[in-house]
Amino acid sequence: MARATIKQVAAAAEVSTATVSRVLNNSDYVSEEIKERVMAAVNRLNYRPSAIARSLKQDRTYMIGVIVPDISNPYFMGISRGVEDIVGKEGFQLIFCSSDENPEKERRLLKLLQEKRVDAVVLATSGGNDPAIKQIADSNMPIVLVDRKLDSPDTGSMLDLVAEDNTEGASRLTRKLLEEGHTAIGVVNGPTRSSTGRERLEGVRNAMKAFGLNEGPMVYNGDFSTEDGIRAVQQFLNAEHRPTAIISLNNRMSLGVLLEIVRSGLKIPADMAVASFGEVEAGPLLKESGLYYMEQHPYDMGIKAGEILLSRIREEARQDPPAYEIYSNEVKQLI
Amino acid sequence: MARATIKQVAAAAEVSTATVSRVLNNSDYVSEEIKERVMAAVNRLNYRPSAIARSLKQDRTYMIGVIVPDISNPYFMGISRGVEDIVGKEGFQLIFCSSDENPEKERRLLKLLQEKRVDAVVLATSGGNDPAIKQIADSNMPIVLVDRKLDSPDTGSMLDLVAEDNTEGASRLTRKLLEEGHTAIGVVNGPTRSSTGRERLEGVRNAMKAFGLNEGPMVYNGDFSTEDGIRAVQQFLNAEHRPTAIISLNNRMSLGVLLEIVRSGLKIPADMAVASFGEVEAGPLLKESGLYYMEQHPYDMGIKAGEILLSRIREEARQDPPAYEIYSNEVKQLI
């Protein structure tokens, strides 16, 4: 069945197209009798007013675009659930896009969302896109950064941000291993084009220096994926000076680290201590692992991001100074 | 900075709006000199033609909507990656929506995607939405069902489908446990409003009957979530006739089952055998678990779904009979 047009509906109801439009938009007085006739025709013809045409008029699409580097990472989905629980009440719906840690894909997705005129964007950037992001902000579309900052500190402070204290967090995690006597530490880092990659690595280095160690950590630069956690362990185990402890700087890579250590027949922490930035959902499968992990609160961060978004979408708060919300979390141990 | 209009661009370039449009759409001959003037104005004013306005003309948005019940389940993301690898080459982008196994939310999302005039929909339905789905199909928007069938068998055969042989798969999984001597079997099932929930449970029952057992399994009806896997085990362990084996009918619930069994201090499979419909990524953390699992091939299913989609979007294949692709998989054991 082809899509019915407003003209066909008007003809079927024996009214003008303007009247059909008035009924559908509730925009002016129309008698009950005419209303019923129009709605009967709408239902009979299965007419659906094009939201595209409508959004041109109302200038609101009630869509909020969410771009994250890894759509199946429970961390980002926790943030999204928080956002949704706030904005959903106001009738907004979330659509998700996955950049796969690929700045070029992220750029395309930003363009798509801008062209589709979503009402706002939530972005955990893969890095390298300051100009494109700044251009969106300049076009008056609200954009809230989550988890990750822009590359350049000066553009960074121009946008709303909800993130974690990555440097301090990674330092705390590292100190746990240092206090247990580890000095040969392997770091599984994310890509340094992302702020979380840069800041967490800096945190590890700071802690080692503050502890009086001259040698830095052995660094594997991964892509925040489980596969990279696996590869990092393989590299560490084959190294001439094998580390006695591994710090993995996101939850996905940590799962890979644990899988590969178990596969290698090593015991955690007796043969290899492990500390993870972020909880590993499956961690408790390792009985008495002694795994250290940095707690994260993605849902709370999402709630905060959602509140900021709503205040920006409502015109009155558009000119407020950028929000800067940084969560500082504790290190826990899995027993 | 407010959004520049095509009029402002035309004024700045000292040409007509029709000329601006010709340049941007490459739709007719325009001299190089004029082209350069227009593009300079476009860039200076940061003009971005509204894709909404354009899509009204071209009748194509190059967006494909993907609705799944659980956006962070790697199974659905595997399917999506397959779809994307096919349709991305043709310039289509995926936008994702999560129905959270909630038929009412799914209905709203279907409406949203239809109103936004995506070019096609990929749907793993939460069930209960046959009329809304049929209405979309009737409106001539291609829709490919993945993983899950419609509720009613007669509407089901009207749409493209890429799914698994759930009944036979669950039977195979059950037979492994039966052959090992288990007769008291606990089943962690998904919601029976979804076809995967219904068919997999049927598969378990068929296998037990064929094995000559009069007693059916003990059934916990969950929501395909990790939390429900945990709750199911708690219930089974407190039951008067505690099962000696558990079959969990999706990967998420299986993780919950494993977590709770480990937490309870029970050994797998010595104290409790476990079989999972779908691989558990973290399963190998359990050393020598003897876990049975049904392999799945979500990426291949996504490739197939993407190919079907493309053939439907291209008008010429619109009238082909519905595709019906069913994957039949093997049981493996984690050693």
In sequence order, the β-bridge partners of residue A325 are A162
DSSP state of A222: -
Q: Where in chain A is the domain with CATH 1.10.260.40?
A: 6-49
Reply yes or no on whether the pLDDT at A36 is more than 60: yes
> Which tens digits make up the pLDDT trace of B13-68?
888 888 888 787 666 677 888 888 888 888 788 777 665 444 444 578 899 999 99
Residue B1: predicted pLDDT: 44
pLDDT band of B183, cuts 50, 70, 90: very high
Q: B1 — contact with chain A (CB < 8 Å)?
A: yes
pLDDT, chain A, mean = 90
- Give the DSSP letter of residue A122: E
> Do the Cβ atoms of B98 and B128 come closer than 8 Å?
no
Q: Which residues contact A192 (CB under 8 A, 6 or more apart)?
A: A198, A201, A221
B chain contacts of residue A135, beta-carbon cutoff 8 Å: 46
* Tens digits of residue pLDDT in A108-165: 999 999 988 899 999 999 999 999 999 999 888 999 999 999 998 776 678 999 999 9
- pLDDT, residue B28, reads 66
Q: Which residues pair with A96 in a beta bridge?
A: A66, B96
Q: For chain B, give every residue range classified as CATH 3.40.50.2300.
A: 60-164+299-328, 166-294
Identity of the residue numbered A282:
A
CA dihedral B254, B257, B263, B266 (to 10 degrees): -110
Q: Which residues contact B58 (CB under 8 A, 6 or more apart)?
A: none
For the domain bounded by B166-294, which CATH number is listed? 3.40.50.2300
Lowest mean pLDDT segment, chosen from A42-46, B48-52, B149-153, B312-316? B48-52
Among candidates A117, A255, A287 on the partner chain, residue whose Cβ is nearest the Cβ of B52: A117
Distance CA B79, CA A187 (A): 32
Q: What is the ipTM of this complex?
A: 0.80
The three-state DSSP-derived secondary structure of B95-146 is EEEECCCCHHHHHHHHHHHHHCCCCEEEECCCCCCHHHHHHHHHCCCCEEEE
CA distance B132 to B26: 39
Q: What's the predicted TM-score (pTM) here?
A: 0.82
**Residue A302 in contact with residue A78, Cβ under 8 Å?**
yes
Q: Min CA distance, B35 vs chain A (Å)?
A: 22
Quick one: fold of B6-49?
434 Repressor (Amino-terminal Domain) (1.10.260)
Q: What is the pLDDT of residue A18?
A: 82
Say what the pLDDT of residue A60 is. Answer: 81
Asked whether the beta carbons of residue B281 and residue A281 sit closer than 8 angstroms, the reply is no
pLDDT digits (tens, 9 = 90+) for A62-90: 999 999 999 889 999 999 999 999 999 89
Q: Which of A48, A51, A262 sits opposite B285 (nearest CB)?
A: A262
For B97, name the nearest residue in chain A, comparing CA atoms only. Answer: A95
- Those of residues 138-177 in B touching chain A at CB distance below 8 A are 138-140
Q: Binning pLDDT at 50, 70 and 90, where does residue A58 land?
A: low
Under 8 Å between Cβ of A331 and A164 = no
Residues 6+ apart with CB under 8 A from B111: B132
- Beta-carbon separation of A115 and B139 below 8 A: no
Q: Mind listing the pLDDT tens digit for each residue in A192-251?
A: 999 999 999 999 999 999 999 998 999 999 999 999 999 999 999 999 999 999 999 999
Q: Check whether A287 has a pLDDT greater than 50.
A: yes
Q: Give CATH for domain A60-164+299-328.
A: 3.40.50.2300
